[in-house]
């Protein structure tokens, strides 16, 4: 089966075969590093490990399945990459190994969609090849931008020859060691205004970028950490603008929907591994005169996991199909993100419960997977913010139906 994104060069891709090869690669080459380090990417080797694994993935034809063929990827559509990224996600290092981890994966999509040809050559091509990493600098310390991006306080003002950027960011994933930053800064309006943001591309070695401490978080699988970053008189040329001036929020939406879905793909793979580990344990562990898998309460946990894995895949596929059809798919991606993030958390929690002490030990992967997936209910929009948006869209549609009905009457 060939499943290549619209507009990509034609290549024959058997997605099922690619997913199987990805799963084998992760099992043979990636999981041993995860197991030895208990899922701590810094302890496992950080960027050196990333380069090693990505070189292996490149040789196997697995690198960057989501990126365009033109820039060195495999060109899979959203639907096509769903099972491949799920297979990679069976290790918490798996997406990194095939160069499909956040934030790089989302940044590749954004650059493909709105960057100029020169920007793609300078930033996108080396990113797809794994020669550099990237960071997306949006979130700020309170009262700045976070779940509400309109609170953006980092400023960009015109100076002779370009722009000067000043501001503080926090939780910037991959900032330590990144090759470049995509920076969201306010170019007009005041904090709270819905418009007035612009995205900028900045090489990491530009004077005025200060990467600070790694903010300690529960997850440990992201190379480069989640960092504090300051922009102190960062001066960039006019051609550093990504997209259009004052169009940054609209440009970011190009990135958000697909990135949320690829998060679901990756963490679903991790949840499936936790579930399979628990089922195998329950099929062997004896208690109360039988195996755990023969006990009704254990079977209930297993059944609930099977249902939620299937439901997450189904909602993911609906959202991916909408994105592939050219829709912004705001409602579909929000629904899949909320359900997926919460279901994945429950799946892993049930797996831990089934395994008892082993489920919370480093001897099984479940505890480290639980540590990694919990933040997903916050990253890329907290569940509560998505529920608010889902309800607003539904009410807006309801009002439109009422107005149509009353008009007809």
CA separation for the pair 362, 220 (Å, rounded): 14
For the cut 60, the answer to whether the pLDDT of residue 9 exceeds it is no
Q: What is the pLDDT of residue 1?
A: 45
pTM beyond cutoff 0.75: yes
Could you please state the CATH topology (level 3) that the domain comprising 253-406 is classified under.
Butyryl-CoA Dehydrogenase, subunit A; domain 3 (1.20.140)
Q: What percent of the chain has pLDDT over 90?
A: 94
- Model confidence pLDDT, tens digit, residues 41-88: 999 999 999 999 999 999 999 999 999 999 999 999 999 999 999 999
The domain segmentation of the chain, as residue ranges, is: 15-128, 134-246, 253-406
For residue 291, the cross-strand partners are 286
Fold agreement between 15-128 and 134-246: no
From the candidate CATH numbers 1.10.540.10, 3.40.50.2300, 3.10.450.630, 2.30.30.230, the one assigned to the domain spanning 15-128: 1.10.540.10
- Residue 325: C-alpha distances to residues 78, 336, 357 (Å): 10, 17, 46
pLDDT at 123: 98
* Coil, helix or strand at residue 109: helix
pLDDT band at 408 (very low <50, low <70, confident <90, very high): low
pLDDT in tens, 273-307: 999 999 999 999 999 999 999 999 999 999 999 99
The model's pLDDT over 219-278, given as tens digits with 9 standing for 90+, comes to 999 999 999 999 999 999 999 999 999 999 999 999 999 999 999 999 999 999 999 999
**Closest CA relative to residue 108, chosen from 89, 129, 93, 92:** 129
Mean pLDDT, all residues of the chain: 95
* Distance (Å, whole) CA 368 – CA 183: 31
Mean pLDDT of 183-211: 97
pLDDT tens by residue, 131-151: 999 999 999 999 999 999 999
Span 166-182, average pLDDT? 98
Alpha-carbon distance of 403 to 409, in angstroms, equals 10
Predicted confidence at residue 12, as pLDDT, reads 61
At 194 the pLDDT is: 87
Residue whose token pair is 């080797």: 45
Q: What is the pLDDT of residue 70?
A: 97
Q: Which CATH architecture has domain 134-246?
A: Beta Barrel (2.40)
Residue 10 above 80 pLDDT?
A: no
């Amino acid at each position: 089966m060939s499943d290549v994104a619209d507009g990509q060069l034609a290549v024959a891709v058997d997605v099922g075969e690619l997913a199987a090869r990805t799963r084998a690669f992760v099992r043979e080459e990636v999981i041993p590093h995860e197991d030895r380090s208990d899922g701590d990417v810094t302890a496992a080797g950080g960027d050196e490990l990333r380069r090693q694994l990505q070189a292996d993935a490149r040789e196997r034809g697995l690198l960057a399945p989501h990126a365009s063929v033109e820039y060195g990827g495999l060109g899979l559509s959203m639907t096509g990459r769903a099972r491949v990224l799920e297979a990679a996600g069976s290790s918490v290092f798996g997406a990194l190994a095939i160069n499909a981890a956040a934030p790089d994966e989302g940044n590749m999509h954004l650059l493909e969609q709105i960057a100029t040809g020169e920007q793609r050559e300078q930033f996108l091509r080396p990113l797809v090849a794994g020669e550099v990493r990237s960071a997306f600098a949006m979130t700020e310390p309170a009262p700045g931008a976070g779940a509400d991006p309109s609170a953006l306080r980092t400023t960009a003002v015109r100076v002779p020859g370009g722009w000067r950027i000043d501001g503080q960011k926090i939780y910037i994933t991959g900032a330590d060691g990144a090759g470049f930053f995509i920076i969201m800064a306010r170019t007009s309006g005041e904090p709270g205004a819905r418009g007035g943001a612009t995205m900028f591309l900045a090489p990491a070695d530009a004077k005025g970028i200060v990467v600070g401490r790694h903010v300690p978080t529960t997850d440990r699988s992201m190379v480069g950490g989640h960092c504090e970053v300051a922009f102190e008189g960062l001066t960039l040329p006019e051609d550093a603008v990504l997209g259009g001036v004052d169009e940054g929020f609209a440009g970011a939406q190009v990135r958000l929907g697909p990135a949320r879905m690829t998060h679901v793909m990756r963490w679903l793979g991790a949840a499936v591994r936790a579930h399979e580990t628990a089922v195998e344990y329950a099929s062997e562990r004896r208690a109360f005169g039988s195996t755990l898998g023969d006990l009704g309460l254990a079977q209930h946990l297993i059944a609930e996991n099977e249902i939620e894995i299937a439901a997450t895949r189904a909602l993911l596929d609906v959202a991916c199909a909408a994105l592939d059809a050219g829709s912004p798919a705001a409602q579909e991606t929000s629904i899949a993100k909320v359900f997926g993030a919460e279901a994945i958390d429950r799946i892993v929690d049930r797996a831990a419960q089934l395994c008892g002490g082993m489920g919370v030990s480093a001897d099984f992967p479940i505890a480290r997977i639980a540590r990694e997936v919990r933040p997903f209910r916050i990253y890329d929009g907290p569940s509560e913010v998505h529920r608010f948006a889902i309800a607003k869209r539904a009410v807006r549609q309801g009002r439109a139906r009422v107005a149509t009905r009353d008009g007809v009457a």
